[in-house]
Structure 1
Amino acid sequence: MDDHRVMRQDDNGNRFLVATGLGRAEAEALAAEFEARGHKQLYWVEAVEPRAPRAEAPAAEQVRYVVGAALVHRGRVLAARRSAPAEVAGFWEFPGGKAEPGETQEQALERELAEELGVRARALRPLPGSWTVRAGLELRIWAAELLSGEPRALEDHSELRWLGPAELGDVEWLAHDREVLPHVAALLAEG
């Protein structure tokens, strides 16, 4: 049952959601993985209380998704260096963007990759975890495959790099993207 989440606490006592919608064993394994990698923050697993179903949440409470692509081609994954906005410029991410109203996460991912990189890609499946970017905005990273085209940095990126499994730590990732790297490494190991 997908009713657990992984939380973390930094040195200042701030608490953050790392991943949600996980089974207990998966959540415990993810928390243990982060601790084993030497992260200094405290990680723990919490059961998520089921909510009573609602007809529809008010517009102010609806979550909008940002989707990123772990775009795989020939055993490597694409990393994109941000050029804007200023607070994230120079950091690396999995390319993507915000889903438009009425658009599925898969549709948003495929559209964003066409707009940002000039490629045709297919969204395969979401990788474990989701992250709150800010109130009402949640990030999901999806496994995706390149169907056609050569990626080019068309919007908001200054550089692109294809990284193999041993190169995932060679770039300075945005925090949310860095947290999904163990899942990306597993994805690359699949073939």
Structure 2
Amino acid sequence: MTEAAASAGKKIVLVAAAALVDSDGRVLICRRPQGKQLAGLWEFPGGKVEPGETPEACLIRELDEELGIQVKEACLAPFVFASHGYDSFHLLMPLYLCRRWDGFVTAREHEALAWVRPDKLSEYPMPPADEPLVAYLRDFL
């Protein structure tokens, strides 16, 4: 059975994520805390888009909640997306590039943070939906 056939009929969950890129060209990844699904894996910051919320508004909210930074919508550039079937739902995740924000990145909800060069991202274990995004970042940045 193909992945598309296996995902048919599952609830689609929309999650927005950001690849924060610092002035040295490194990308921020966050380690999921213990007690959460996929704990210990590294991911791009972001979260579930709430009903009536745009992906951009979601990221502005999530980046403030998770990292303590303020981002303007104009600084979020749509880049690529992931589409991945998990056991109980299908994840659709647009990834935005962000090079400008206000404030200092602080781990408020994650176990750890790491600023990683794009060619080293594949050395960090990630959830299945995040893994394919690494190659796009490596090739673009």
TM-score for both structures, normalised by structure 1: 0.60
Task: Write the mapping of 1:75-114 to structure 2, written as runs, cut at 5 A.
Answer: 75-114=25-64
1:16-31 equivalent positions in 2, closer than 5 A: 16-17=3-4
Q: In structure 1, which of residues 121, 125, 129 is the aligned counterpart of residue 78 of structure 2?
A: 125
1:20-44: CA deviation from partner (whole Å, max 9, x where unpaired): xxxxxxxxxxxxxxxxxxxxxxxxx
1:140 to 78, 81, 94: 94
**Residue 153 (structure 1) aligns with:** 107
Q: Is the 8 A contact 1:70 1:142 kept in 2?
A: yes
Local SS of the residue matching 1:176: coil
Higher gyration radius (CA):
1
* Aligned sequence identity (%): 35
Tell me how far apart the structure 2 counterparts of residues 142 and 101 of structure 1 sit (CA, whole Å).
20
Do structure 1's residue 15 and structure 2's residue 2 form an aligned pair? yes
- Cα distance change on mapping 1:113 and 1:132 into 2, 3 Å: farther
Deviation at 1:114, TM superposition (A): 0.8
Asked if structure 2 preserves the Cα contact closer than 8 Å seen for 1:124 and 1:145, the reply is: no
Shift of 1:161: 0.4
Assess if the C-alpha contact under 8 Å between 1:67 and 1:139 holds in 2.
yes
Structure 1 runs (4+) greater than 6 angstroms displaced: none
Are 2:136 and 1:183 equivalent residues in the alignment? yes
Which residue type is aligned with residue 145 of structure 1? Answer: R
Taking the aligned partners of 2:102 and 2:69, their CA distance within structure 1 comes to 6
1:172 aligns with 2:125: yes
Kindly indicate whether the alpha-carbon contact (under 8 Å) linking 2:47 and 2:62 is maintained by their aligned counterparts in 1: yes
| Aligned-partner SS, 1:116 | helix
Residue in 2 that maps onto 1:43: none
Distance in 1 (alpha carbons) for counterparts of 2:39 and 2:90: 23
Deviation at 1:164, TM superposition (A): 0.8
Tell me which of the two structures has the higher relative contact order, counting C-alpha pairs closer than 8 angstroms and 6 or more residues apart: 2
